[in-house]
Amino acid sequence: MFEINPFAELAVTVPAGIMQGFVTVMIALVAGGTIFDIIHKGSAKYFFQRWSREKGLKQRDPGFDEKIASVAKTTAHDVLTSGEFCNFKRRLAHLLTMYGFIAYAVATAVMVFFIPDQRYCHASLLASDLVARQCNGLRGRLLVLVFHPC
């Protein structure tokens, strides 16, 4: 399963540039749709109005290190661990879905943008066989899996 890049198989009939263009267009459309949604709902206007209103109420100007600490704490609590969900099951489901999607998207992008050149596959097979013979067992299999481009 991990030894075959399905996009390399598809590259036989569909040029790699078209697949890479498709992924790039999808990223641009997701970003554009998100920006359109923020503008359409007016949530950006709400947050900027609230920010400017609270800016006038502040009693002191926090230092740079205090601002960075606040951003890091908010990111760790709200974004990385979905701290806004109080129910543990809902939080866990959200985290597994989010990190699963991120892993899927990154893996797909890597497979599409790093399709091996089929001219070098024969030489790499010979090299991977040599590595497998030199390093028997799990270590040899992992090395072949990681460094085998085809």
Same structural domain for residues 106 and 78? yes
Q: Is residue 36 domain-shared with residue 54, that is, in the same domain?
A: yes
Angle between helices 121-134 and 138-147 (to 10 degrees): 160
Q: For residues 83 and 26, state if they share a domain.
A: yes
Asked whether residue 17 is domain-assigned, the answer is: yes
- Residues 15 and 65 reside in one and the same domain: yes
What is residue 142's predicted lDDT score, i.e. its pLDDT?
A: 54
Find the largest Cα–Cα distance for the chain.
Answer: 70
Identify whether residues 101 and 29 lie together within a single domain: yes
Residue 1 domain-assigned (yes or no) = no
Q: Which pair of structure tokens corresponds to residue 145?
A: 């899996």
Task: Give the closest residue to 107 by CA, choosing from 23, 40, 25.
Answer: 23
pLDDT class of 139 with cuts at 50, 70, 90: low
Least confident of 23-32, 57-66, 113-122: 113-122
Are 79 and 97 found together in one domain? Answer: yes
109 and 148 assigned to the same domain: no
Q: Is residue 65 assigned to a domain?
A: yes
Same domain, 93 and 49: yes
Mean pLDDT taken over the chain: 76
Same domain assignment for residues 45 and 103: yes
Does the residue 18 lie in any domain? Answer: yes
| Res. 23: pLDDT tops 70 | yes
Q: Find the domain containing 55 and state its range.
A: 6-115
Same domain, 105 and 126: no
Q: Which residue has the higher pLDDT, 24 or 51?
A: 24
- Our count of domains for the chain comes to 2
Other residues' Cβ atoms within 10 Å of the Cβ of residue 128 = 19
**Phi, psi angles (nearest 5°) of residue 13:** -105, -30
CA 66 – CA 72 distance, rounded (Å): 10
